Structures are given as structure tokens and as C-alpha cells.
Amino acid sequence: MVYWIAALVIVSIALMTLRVSAGIWLVAIALWIAAGFQYVGIGLLATVLLILLLVVPALIIALKPLRMRLLTEPALQVFKKILPRMSRTERDAIEAGTTWWDAELFSGKPNWHTLFSLAAPTLTEEEQAFLENEVQQLCTLITDWETTEIWQDLPPQAWKFIKDNGFLGMIIPKHYGGKAFSAYMHSQVIMKLSSHCSAAAISVMVPNSLGPAELLLQYGTDAQKDHYLPRLAGGLELPCFALTGPYAGSDAAAIPDVGVVCLGTYENKETLGFRVTWDKRYITLGPVATLLGLAFRVFDPEGLLSSDGTFEVHDDGDLGITCALIPTSHPGVVIGRRHRPLDATFQNGPTSGKDVFIPLDWVIGGRAQVGKGWRMLMECLAAGRAISLPSSTVGYSKTAVRGTSAYAAMRNQFKMPIGKFEGIHEMLASMGGNLYLIDATRRLSAMAVDSGEKPSVISAISKYHVTERGRVIVNAGMDILGGKGICMGPNNFLARTYQQVPIAITVEGANILTRCLIIFGQGAIRCHPYVWQEITAAGEENESKALQDFDTAFFGHVSFIFSNFARTLLGGISAGTWLAAPKAAPAELRHFYRAVNRMSTAFALLSDVSMFVFGGSLKFRERVSARLGDILSQLYLISSVLKRYEDEGRQKDDLPFVFWAIEDALHQAQEAYFAILANYPGRAMAFLLRLSAFPFGRSYRQPSDALESTVARAMQTDGPSRDRLIADIYLPDHTQASMAYGELAFKLIPEVNAIEARLKPAIKEGQLAPLPQSLIDMQHWIEAALAGGFITVEEQQLMTEYAHCVDISVQVDDFPQDLGRLEARQKRHQLVQLQQYHR
């Protein structure tokens, strides 16, 4: 009897894992019952009961006509009742973009070939030359301190260089005069600029992200493209895009800005158009833009545009959100004033207009795109959000890691470098591990865009998690710098970044919104292999087709759930070892591939059970949705790290960073899983889910102290691993930034340490004093060591240079008390120049 029951369990798990057809289930059940009757002696009554309980349901499911009548049709009616109402804007947002690796992770059984079939990201010769020449030259024209404190903007020569050298047309095709750069190149440019000057990065980033150029390329008429794209590429037009307003921030679809269809006069001719009223804010480049992209809601109360029936008309003649291009010189357009987002100096401000008449031809895409603006925006944002903020965040994070790791290695306190203290190790490891991870995420997301994807869920993951981990990096850097980090001035390489980090957290969808509503809310529908099919079938007007489509999706979904339950159980019992890793995976990382497979399967099961338990209310259970999104996100971040390790040739020196990043992400995914179950309404279901996924308790711990110290030491060691970690940023020389002295001192540390090690016997015997900390004492020490014959002249020069570089690096800026009056005179002069330039 025991073996017979065990056979049922084993065969059932195997069949669920393999997702066999209902017919095979029917045969297997019949054979098992027959074996019980023949060899176990279960008796006639028990046999009949088992046939009624198991064979009959299996037979109904196996016979499709019977199944559709008895099971599918009632299930479809129930599904329609519990399906939450979806607005048109919600549907547009969900349908926008494409799915890619996120769908693989949602499948519970990711196909790693999909990920590794992408070639490693590379730049063309033209792109590499632009990065090494034009981008490098732009960086030499600016400093973050001067743009912030003196110009409160980019200086005129920088603006001119940007416009003259094609920075505003990186995504525009060459036949329109643009650069036609790849998404990866776009990312590299923004990252490099952001490592040096935030205003430069943002001023270049916005025209190449969600804005007129992208919208024109995707949806513009031929006439609009021919007119505007060459002007945008050549810097003759400076664009901005106005979406957000005082009463429509995160809920951008609720914009109250209105355009009423009417007849008006334009260029002395009566023409059909809109009388538009708007009030927008937070518009980057708005104060200096010459071309305003505007989103507003179109109403056609008189039917002037919609009377032919080609438009979907909603309440009160609402045709939907529409996007138009308006020259800022057009009568009635109000721009010019500025916001001060945490004193960042990129141009940002409000724009407004009241009853401004614009012709119909100014709608992006013309008449055919009236009312389709929201979908246009969502589809463009799906790609742009994967590039802009991840790239800028990685840029300033690399600068933070470069400067802080050098400072920790050379800054002595208590007679030893602070970088040797375990408390500093913890902070440095967080900086280095997180940087390796977010740079990997940036690279993979850009590669997805270059492969033709518009990854809406992945872009949301990238934006949220890269900016949040960037905040961790900057905060840790400030903790290490201590007093040096809090005194503003040109010697402080981190303070402005620390001040402006919340901007990245806020824009392009506030991070709270992104985490709670978008990542899983959109992913559960688009990435799930069956949910969107079920929703689409439920909305099908043809009843016969609806039933057929729903039957396929629903029973595929049921099979999917049982398969994931079996795989979750196998993964939990074996701690993932029974789930295969790719054959090509490196031996040192195979357990991580298995861990991702295990968590992916457990996540897929938990997602389906949660959708069943909460039903339509899951839409409002934001903490549950957020934590489910966290699991999906961490799996994507780990995938990015694994992909980067492959693309960079499996550099063994990078393994400490790889291990830290993956272990941290796995731990966070696991904790999100447990947090969901701790707050589950059904305790029995929560217990079952925990027992199946983690039968022996938590499996994934945070990175160990030993690993943290290994990462911290690697960051303080000059060599290829650290170089790869901070690669492709701008490296100013000492004439432009005092941070360069820190790097010079850092590179001299091995030679200084070698000299000190050689002199230890003399120091121990009292013939020579120990190395002092202050510059004055160090100079005396060097002179005494030279006079005593302990060091050579060459070593004296090296030690003097090292002491000089360290001294400059540890200093902070101070200013005269009349700074306000002096700076005010400078600023007035500079701002007059800027105003004249922008005119």
C-alpha cells in the first residue's frame, strides 16, 4: 500500500513537471487504480470511489467538447465577473512595449539561451571615436561646480558645442542629419557625462529620450519628419516635452489640459485645429526650448473632427490624450521661468497657455493620431526609461566609487588607512557590489532595446532598482568621507550628487509608484504566459471564439500552476540542486543559475496563487504587489550580473563583486517572498507555499563579512578589476578637478607601502620615526630619511609627490565672508551672457 501511494506521488510530480496532456493523465490514473485493485487489494468500493473522484474528472478534461460545456463556460462567466474593470489608459499602458527576459523569468523555467544568444555590447568605430573625442571635449568645457555656482546652467560654449556636434540627434537616423547611434552608445554617452556634470548629462539625455524626436520617428508624418528631424539633429531646435502638471503627476493619464476642436485662423487661413489650455510643470529644457511637445486631452463637442465615425468618442466628446508639437514662439505659449530642483542647474521649468489655437497638422502623426497620445507615450517611455536614468545613475555612482575607494585607501586615522577598518569594509562592499550590479543592469537593458525590444517591465525594473541602489552607493560614500563630504566646494566630488539623488528617484515615474503598481502590476498581465490571453478572450465579442480561446488559455494556465508547484517542491527539497543549470554555465556560478531557476519557479507559483487568493483586489494590495515585483526584479538583476560576467570573458578577479551582487539580490528576493507569506490572509495557504518553496527555512544569506572585506580590498587595489568597475567615465586632470589628486595618490600607494615595509626594521629600532599623518610632519620625515640614507633621491621625490597629493585630497574648501557679494557680481555677469545666448 505504501509503495502504491508513493508511486502516485512520484508519478504525479513527474507528470506535473513535464506538463503532459489530460489524455496521458487519464491513462496514468487508470493504470494506477488497476494496479491497486489487482495487486494491492483495495477492494471494489474503493476502486469505484477512485474512478468517480479521479477518472471521471480526468475524462471530462480530456474530452474537449465535454470540458468546454461543463467546465470552460462556467469558468469564463466567473472570470468575467471577478475581472477588475480596466480603463482605456490602463489597457494602453499594459499593451505598450514588449516582453523579453522578464517573461522568461515569469515562466518559472527561464531559457538561458534567450539571454546568452545576445552578443556582448560593442561600439562601432564611429561611436568609439565620438566617445573619445566629442564627449571628452565637452567634458573639458565644464565642471559641475561652475555650472552650479557660477553659470547656474551650462556655459554658452558648452551649449554651442552640444548643438554643433550632434549631441541632440544621437537617436535620429543619418539621412535626417543625425548620428543613428545604438541604445548602448546612447547609454555610454550619458554615463560618461553624468560622471562629470549632471547638467550636461541631462541636457543631452532628454532630447534623445522621451521627447519630440522619438515621437516623430515612431509616429510622425513624412512632412513632420522632413521638417523637424534635421533641425533637431543640427541643434537648430531645442526640444522639450510637457506631460506633468500640478494635478497630474504620477497619475499622468489624468491630465486636465484640454484642447477643444474648433475652426480658427492660422497664416490668414481658416483651418481646423484646437483651442488649447494647459498648465505644466517640471518640464526639463522647458525654459530654453524652441519646440514644445505637449500632451493634452482633446474634446470635440461639435463633432467637427469625429463626425465621420473614425474616432472612438467617449463621454462629453472626449477623443483622448493627444500629442502635438508647438513652436515656443507661437502666440500664447508661456515659458521661460525656472524651477530649482534641489539646486541642480539643468534647465527645468513650467509652461502654460490659455486658449492657444494650433492647427490640426501640429498633432504628431497628424489627424490619424488624435486621441492616441497616451499609447504613444507609453511605448516610447518603455524604451527611453531603460536608458536615461539607469545610465546617469551609473555614471555618478562610478565617480562616487572611484573617489571614495581612493580616499579610503590613502586617508590615515589612528595610524592606519581608514580603508582597513571593518566598518569601512561594509560600506565599501555595498558600494562596489551595488555598482557592479547596476552597471550590469544598465548594459543588459540597453542591449534589449538594441535587439528591437521596447521592454516596458524591464525598463521599470531598471529605473527603480538602479536609482535606489545608486542612492545606497552615494549614501555610503558620504558616510566614508565624513566631514569632507558635507563641505561644499570644488574639492567635493560627491556633495552635489548626494543633493540631487532624489531627482532620479522622483522623475519618469516616482519610485514608490513604479514599485507598487507598475513592475508586477504590468508584469503579471503582460509577462505571464496565460493571463493576458484569458483577459483578451473574456473581452472577445464572438462568443464561440471567446470560449475556444479561453479554454486554451485557462487549461494551459491550470497546467502551468501544477507544473510550477511540482518544480517548486523539487527545488525546495533539493535546495535547487535538482533544477538543471545551463551546460555552458561556468562551474563557479552554476549554483547561482540553479538558485535563479528555483526562485523563478517559486515566484511563478506564488504569483498565480496570489492572483487567485486576492482576485481583482490584488490591484489595490500594493505591498503584496510591490514585494512580488521585488522578487521578479531581483531575478532580473541577477540575470544581468551573470550576463555581464559572461560578456566580459569570465574575469576571475571580478568574482568577489559577482558573488556579493548575486548573494545580496537572492537574499532580498527570498525576504520579499517571506514578507508576502507573513501577511497572507490564508494562513494554511501561506504555510503550504512556504513548505513547498523553503521546507528547511531560509536558504540565502546576506554576503558574509569575509566576502565584504574581499570586495573592499579589491576596490582599494589598483588593477584591472577596479578599472573595469569604474570604466568609461570621464577622468579629469588635476587642473580641472582636485579629485584627480586622490587618484594620483592612490596609484602611488603600492610604492609608498613598499618603501615603508623596507624601512620597518629601522623604524622598529628607533633609527627613524614612523610615517606621520600630517603634511608638515611628513616633509620633515622625508628630509630626515633622505639625510640618514634610508631613502634615495628618487624615493624622496615619490614620497613628496604622494604627500602633496594626499594633502590636497583631504582638504575641504573654505570661502571669504564676502562670498555672497563677490559671487553675486560674477553670477549677474554670467547670467546676462546666458540670457543673450538663449535668445
Q: Say how far apart CA 80 and CA 103 lie, in whole Å.
A: 25
Given a cut of 80, whether residue 582 has pLDDT beyond it is yes
Answer whether 518's CB lies under 8 Å from 509's CB.
yes
More confident residue, 823 or 556: 556
pLDDT band at residue 640, thresholds of 50, 70 and 90? Answer: very high
132-141, 418-427, 818-827 — which is least confidently predicted?
A: 818-827
What gap in Å lies between CA 86 and CA 457, rounded to an integer? 18
Q: Are residues 448 and 337 in the same domain?
A: no
Quickly tell me which residue has 474503493 as its cell. Answer: 46
**384 and 441, same structural domain?**
no
Residue 546 lies in a domain: yes
| Residue at which a domain ends, from 364, 389, 414 | 389
**What is the structure's pLDDT at 483?**
93
Distance CA 636, CA 642 (A): 10
What integer pLDDT is reported at residue 161 of this predicted model? 97
Largest interatomic CA distance in the chain: 107
Assess whether pLDDT exceeds 80 at residue 823. no
Mean pLDDT of 93-121: 89
pLDDT in tens, 251-281: 777 889 999 999 999 988 999 999 999 999 9
Residue 240: strand pairing partners: 292
Closest CA to 421 of 188, 716, 192, 691: 716
**How many Å separate Cα 485 from the centre of its chain?**
27
Taking only the tens place, the pLDDT of each residue in 517-573 is 889 988 888 889 999 888 888 888 888 898 999 999 999 999 999 999 999 999 999
Strand partners, 412: 417
Q: How confident is the model at residue 507 (pLDDT cuts 50, 70, 90)?
A: confident
Whether 11 is in a domain gets the answer: yes
Read out DSSP for 189-246? HHHHHHTT-HHHHHHHHGGGSTTHHHHHHHH--HHHHHHHHHHHHTTSS-EEEE--BT
Residue 822 confidence (pLDDT) above 70: no
Domain final residue, candidates 372, 389, 406? 389
d(CA 446, CA 185): 9
| CATH code of the domain covering residue 141 | 2.40.110.10
What 3-state class would DSSP assign to 694? coil
705 located within any domain: yes
Residue 309 pLDDT > 70: no
Phi, psi of 455 (to 5 degrees): -80, 90
Determine, yes or no, domain membership for 820: no
Residue 204 has pLDDT above 80, yes or no: yes
pLDDT digits (tens, 9 = 90+) for 797-818: 999 999 999 989 999 988 877 6
Q: Is residue 782 in a domain?
A: yes
Which residue among 371, 389, 407 closes a domain? 389
620 vs 105, more confident:
105
Report the alpha-carbon distance of residue 839 to residue 827 in Å, rounded. Answer: 18
- Look at residue 323 and give its three-state secondary structure: strand
One domain, residues 142 and 108: no
Q: Which helix (H) or strand (E) holds 70?
A: none
Gap between the Cα atoms of 296 and 322, Å rounded = 6
Judge if 332 and 431 occupy the same domain: no
Region 683-690: mean pLDDT is 94
* Overall average pLDDT of the 73-80 stretch: 87
- Residue in 146, 149, 508, 663 annotated catalytic: 508
Higher pLDDT, 172 or 813: 172
Q: What is the Cα–Cα distance from 394 to 471, expressed in whole angstroms?
A: 11
C-alpha cell of residue 821: 557679494
784 and 687, same structural domain?
A: no
Q: Could you give the count of Cα atoms lying within 13 Å of 804 in the half-sphere of its Cβ?
A: 9
Asked if residue 723 has pLDDT above 90, the reply is yes
Count of domains observed in the chain: 4
One domain for residues 600 and 705: yes
Residue 228: predicted pLDDT: 97
Burial (CB < 10 A; 0-12, 13-18, 19+), residue 544, is exposed
Quick one: which of 208, 157, 201 has its CA closest to 178?
Answer: 208
Residue-wise pLDDT tens digits, 49-65: 888 888 888 888 888 89
Whole-model pTM? Answer: 0.94
DSSP 704-748: PHHHHHHHHHHHTS-SHHHHHHTTTS----TTT-THHHHHHHHHH
* pLDDT value at residue 308: 67
508 is catalytic: yes
Residue 499 falls inside a structural domain: yes
| Kind plus residue range of the DSSP H or E element containing 164 | helix 156-164
Q: Please state, in angstroms and rounded to a whole number, the distance separating the CA atoms of residues 440 and 724.
A: 12
Instruction: Tell me the three state secondary structure of residue 351.
Output: strand
Give pLDDT tens digits for 119-140.
999 999 999 999 999 999 999 9
pLDDT of residue 839: 62
- Average pLDDT of the chain is 90
267 plus 317 within the same structural domain: yes
Residue 726 φ/ψ region, left for φ over 0, alpha for ψ in the -120 to 50 degree band, beta for the rest: alpha
211, 436, 480 from 473: Cα distances, Å: 30, 11, 11
**278 and 148 share one domain:** yes
Query: Does residue 828 have a pLDDT over 70?
Result: no
What pLDDT sits at residue 16? Answer: 87
Q: Are residues 704 and 748 in the same domain?
A: no
- Asked if residue 74 belongs to a domain, the reply is no
Which pLDDT band holds residue 827 (cuts at 50, 70, 90)? Answer: low
Asked if residue 314 has pLDDT above 80, the reply is no
Same domain, 489 and 560: yes
Q: Which domain holds residue 769?
A: 739-810
Same domain, 751 and 709: no
Please report how the helices 456-481 and 519-526 are oriented relative to each other, as an axis angle in degrees rounded to 10. 150
CA distance 766 to 763: 5
The answer to whether residues 370 and 236 belong to one domain is yes
| 825 lies in some domain | no
Contact 382, 97 (CB under 8 A): yes
